Amino acid sequence: MSSKSGKTPAAPSNMSHTAEAVAARLRESLLQDKGELEVDKIFKALVKLEGSDLHMKVGQPPMVRVAGTLRPLNRPPVEAEEMVDLLLPMMDERNLQIFEEEGGADFSHTIHVDNVRWRFRVNMLKSLGNIGLVARRINNFIPDFRGLFLPESIEQLCHYDQGMVLLAGVTGSGKSTTIGSMLNYINSIYRKHILTLEDPIEFIFSEDKSLINQREVGQDVKDFEIGMKHAVREDPDIILVGELRDEETFMTAIHAAETGHLVFGTIHASSASTTIGRILDLFPEEMHNAIRSAIAFNMKGIVAQKLLKSIRPNVPRVPTCEVMTFSPMIRKLVLEGEDQKLPDAIRIGAEDGMQDFTMSLKGLIDDELIDRPTAFAVAPNKEALKMALKGIDVKAPGIL
């Protein structure tokens, strides 16, 4: 087995835990050029095709996602032995150990195409006993969120001094891009200390007005829990905690919000309102009341989004967004456990910067960014969308 440098990884030993070994690992820069690997030819093909994702599975040719659609590269299927030869050199000793122990590993990978550096978020996996890969291309530039066709109310979430802002959605819904653009907007107007804790780091920020420190789990800090313990001692104004995936991560994040920081994070949930239940699922039932209280008094907003194929030239995909800000009505419903009433509260909460997916889809159609079939394919309430497009305002039932 080979590492990125082409050397055979040393067997785990006590030496891997010495101060010298730790220092050597820390010296390995996130952006260090590891030299070209054979698999980089496939990554370059993805870049040339302007694809977003690369999938590699034994018995299939490499697949790339272009404008939202998977398509095979023009080469033979990759068999098991070739896949091992292609993918194992991508991993350093640490990731190889994680892969062997857990059956998967997440890390970043960098290539050069025409003197331009391209970064990828890689998940190495096992499937039916074979090694495989899924990689997401990370844009070299952080887009201006005002040009991402996001609701205006999202800008207001960037101006809080403390609290929590969550981006919800499935994998590939653009959550990281939206958060990255929000942080870059803050970077352009405020003199603040922004601290990110990511696994792995996606966007590399260039400092404008803000001071920015980016820490990668596994490379710069052992895990999220330790990273957050350090974070509150590092005088941050804003903290990005990446994905809220377990009880410990959420508790440390909400504690940071309670103690005067503005915390950004992502979570896997299908809508803004169902995010509350998704958070509660991380905790035992006896803690739910306390967690509801923490959410109600610290959350500033939850944005759920999905990416849709655009019909406008030079705009490949656009987000449809549901925005739930924590108005007095939303806080009351969350505290009382009336989550089923949240969608109606969002629908009538325009004055507080809220919108549901129906309102978002109608706006994208009106702005000629998507077509009607695309909108109806993802609409949570197709009848409500039909009426909205006819100009009929459906009043929400009583939610008090």
Give the number of residues written for the chain. 400
Residue 399 placed within a domain:
no
Q: Are residues 119 and 203 in the same domain?
A: no
> Residue 115: which CATH number?
3.30.450.90
Per-residue pLDDT averaged across 192-196, rounded?
97
> Residue 359: which CATH number?
3.40.50.300
pTM beyond 0.75, yes or no: yes
Domain end, chosen from 73, 108, 138, is at 138
- Say what percent of the chain tops pLDDT 70: 90
Domain end, chosen from 138, 168, 190, is at 138
Q: What is the pLDDT of residues 292-328, one digit of tens each?
A: 999 999 999 999 999 999 999 988 889 999 999 999 9
Per-residue pLDDT averaged across 35-51, rounded?
92
Q: How far apart are CA 303 and CA 145, in angstroms?
A: 14
Whether the predicted pLDDT of 19 surpasses 70: no
The pLDDT, as a whole number, for residue 16 is: 44
Residue 158 placed within a domain:
yes
Q: What is the pLDDT of residues 101-126, one digit of tens each?
A: 999 998 889 899 988 889 898 999 99
Give the residue numbers spanning the domain of 69: 14-138
Q: Are residues 256 and 119 in the same domain?
A: no
Domain end, chosen from 77, 104, 138, is at 138
Q: Are residues 249 and 379 in the same domain?
A: yes
Cβ neighbours, 10 Å, residue 166: 28
Q: How far apart are CA 357 and CA 355, in angstroms?
A: 7
Please report which confidence band the pLDDT of residue 397 belongs to, taking 50, 70 and 90 as the band edges: low
> Average model confidence (pLDDT) for the chain?
88
DSSP state of 179: H
Q: How far apart are CA 135 and CA 26, in angstroms?
A: 24
CA–CA distances in Å: residue 135 to residues 106, 110, 120, 161, 261: 10, 11, 6, 35, 32
Q: What is the pLDDT of residues 264-302, one digit of tens each?
A: 999 999 999 999 999 999 999 999 999 999 999 999 999
- Sign of the four-CA dihedral 311, 184, 137, 202: negative
Q: Which helix (H) or strand (E) holds 183?
A: helix 175-189
Please report which confidence band the pLDDT of residue 353 belongs to, taking 50, 70 and 90 as the band edges: very high
Q: How far apart are CA 49 and CA 62, in angstroms?
A: 13
Structure tokens at 6: 């082409």
The pLDDT, as a whole number, for residue 2 is: 40
Residue 7 placed within a domain:
no
Q: Are residues 284 and 164 in the same domain?
A: yes
Structure tokens at 266: 């992502």
CB 355 within 8 A of CB 323: yes
Q: Are residues 202 and 346 in the same domain?
A: yes
Q: Are residues 224 and 367 in the same domain?
A: yes
Q: How far apart are CA 241 and CA 253, in angstroms?
A: 7
b/e 136-163 (16+ beta carbons within 10 angstroms → b): bbbeeebeebeebbbbebbeebbeeebb
The pLDDT, as a whole number, for residue 30 is: 40
Residue 8 placed within a domain:
no
Residue 310 placed within a domain:
yes
Q: How far apart are CA 172 and CA 105, in angstroms?
A: 18
Q: Are residues 186 and 230 in the same domain?
A: yes
Whether the predicted pLDDT of 263 surpasses 50: yes
Residue 30 placed within a domain:
yes
Q: Are residues 156 and 285 in the same domain?
A: yes
Name residues whose C-beta falls within 8 Å of residue 111's C-beta, 6 or more positions apart in sequence.
36, 40, 43, 44, 47, 117, 118, 120
Q: Are residues 281 and 210 in the same domain?
A: yes
Residue 204 placed within a domain:
yes
Number of independent structural domains in the chain: 2
Q: Are residues 132 and 213 in the same domain?
A: no
Name residues whose C-beta falls within 8 Å of residue 226's C-beta, 6 or more positions apart in sequence.
none
Note if the bond before 200 is cis, omega within 30 degrees: yes
What are the backbone dihedrals phi and psi of residue 190, each rounded to the nearest 5 degrees, phi first?
A: -120, 145
Q: Are residues 131 and 156 in the same domain?
A: no
Residue 395 placed within a domain:
no
Q: Are residues 342 and 374 in the same domain?
A: yes
